[in-house]
Chain A
Amino acid sequence: MRTIPALLILAGCTSTPAPAADSSALGAELLKDGDKTPVRASLPFSVEGVPFVGTTLLQRRAGIGYKIVLEIPKGTQRVEMKTCHRRWVFKAPAVPFVTTYTPAFDTREMRSACELELTAVTRLGFKQRAIIDFSADETLPASTKCDGAALDGKLGATFCHAAVGTVQLITLPVAVRAYGQDGCGSLLPVRGAPEGTKFEWHQSAGYCSYLFHAADGREHRLDTYGWAEVERDE
């Protein structure tokens, strides 16, 4: 009996070499294989030196790149970038992660709802995320109350990042026809407001798009991302 522990030690019970484990993450998390719960975007980043946390909306510029610095945690295994048009991966990225994103000419990256999503897979295998949305050729401004913040929407587009199920609000300066993506929270006219100018919606999980069309042809685009899970920390 006394020799058994010695034999086990000699045989070795470790599988692969690994860095020292962080005690704050040990044993507490359950794996969720196949879980597609959208995670809150919270990664700090900067674009052309201007800092943001989690999400932002920028004016789209033809043929000009955006220098992005992503404040990923040390030991990040991978950074993945994704748009509606492409997906590319950086393994063992440097910290901070620096890249230049240039919307691809003559694709939807230039002219449609097409966010840039940056996801870091941390040392412990968790996702941390940042999302950058871009204005396109919409010209109708709007005011949005989203997750406690007032978004001015003067670029003709708005990006609202909030928890799934919460109620958000958008106001237009003129009466509009409102259209929503199938499967996303319906736009509900607000009572008491001039008809067709104010709408509420329940934030849906993941990405959704809405369009507001005025009689003079101007449009406003509302993109939303509903998160159901807070990001995991190291």
Chain B
Amino acid sequence: MSKILEILALILGFFVKRGATQEEIRRRTAATYRELDADSQDIANQSDAYEELRERARRDAAPPPEAPQPTKPPETQKLTITGPATAKANVSFTVQLSRPVPGADLYADVWRLCTIPAGATECAVVLNGVGTRAIRVVLGSETLAQCTVEVQQ
């Protein structure tokens, strides 16, 4: 009788153990499925991160925007002044400018003769001092051009 009970206990133990094992497997499987659900974002997150890396690389590689260059004033054409080599004192003579010079003055040596009219390229000059005189076109404090005239009596 005790032998029969022993065998029955073994059989019972087998089924109990098998049931526990099946329960373990069921729980483990459920946990694995939950892990797979939780992991479902991993590859997508990595892909997002990679796209951001590419964007950063492109931004870093782009040339910096050009700094605005200061506007250079247009180069002024060189001014020349031409006139007669000799002139009589107190007699008007004409000097020509190669281009108009708005706001410029006409000087004889250090004396200001007049302001050159806007748009003018010719000027009438009258000198009363005898000798070699420098006819100058002056803008501000700068002599743009000059020529010499021998003034005679």
B36 touches A80 (CB 8 A): yes
Which B residues from 31 to 77 make CB contacts under 8 A with A? 31-36, 38-40, 42-47, 49-51, 53-54, 56-57, 60-61
How long is the Cα–Cα vector from A78 to B37 in the complex, in angstroms?
Answer: 13
Given contacts A13-B12, A18-B18, A82-B43, contact A179 B57 (CB under 8 A): yes
Q: Is the CB of A217 within 8 A of B19?
A: no
A184 → B minimal CB distance (Å): 8
B27 x A18 contact (CB < 8 A) = no
Residue contact B25 to A213, C-beta cutoff 8 Å? no
Task: Determine, out of B3-11, B84-92, B112-120, B134-142, the stretch whose residues face the partner at the interface.
Answer: B3-11
How far apart are the CA atoms of A178 and B23 in the complex, in Å?
49
- Total A-B residue pairs with C-beta atoms closer than 8 Å? 138
B80 CB within 8 Å of chain A: no
Q: A219 contacts B57, CB within 8 Å?
A: yes
User: Which listed residue, A15, A33, A83, touches B31 by the CB 8 Å rule?
Assistant: A33
CB neighbours of B60 from chain A (8 A) = 177, 213
Complex Cα gap A113–B42 (Å): 12
Q: Is the CB of A207 within 8 A of B43?
A: yes
Partner of A113, one of B24, B29, B31, B46: B46
Determine if A13 and B32 form an interchain contact, defined as CB atoms under 8 angstroms apart: no
B99 interface contact, C-beta 8 A? no
- Distance to closest chain A CB from B58 (angstroms): 8
| A77 to B, closest residue via Cβ | B29
Q: Which of B22, B44, B57 contacts A15 (CB 8 A)?
A: B22
Contact residues of A between 177 and 217, Cβ < 8 Å to B: 177, 179-182, 206-211, 213, 215, 217
Cβ of A5 and Cβ of B28 under 8 Å apart?
Answer: no
Measured between beta carbons, the chain B residues less than 8 angstroms from A219 are 54, 57
Interchain CA distance A207-B33 in the complex, whole Å: 19
A108 within 8 A of B: yes
Report yes or no: A117 in contact with B43, Cβ–Cβ below 8 A: yes
Which one of A49-57, A97-105, A122-130, A162-170 contacts B? A122-130
User: What CA separation (Å) do A73 and B54 show in the bound complex?
Assistant: 40
Residue of B nearest to A232 (CB): B28
* 10 closest cross-chain pairs (CB), A and B: A125-B28, A125-B29, A84-B47, A113-B50, A213-B57, A181-B49, A209-B50, A211-B53, A207-B46, A179-B53
List 12 additional contacts besides A121-B36, A125-B28, A125-B31; criterion CB under 8 Å. Answer: A13-B19, A29-B24, A31-B24, A34-B38, A35-B35, A36-B35, A125-B29, A127-B35, A179-B53, A180-B53, A210-B53, A215-B61
9 example contacts (A-B, Cβ-Cβ < 8 A) are as follows A31-B27, A82-B39, A108-B51, A112-B47, A114-B43, A121-B32, A209-B49, A213-B61, A219-B57
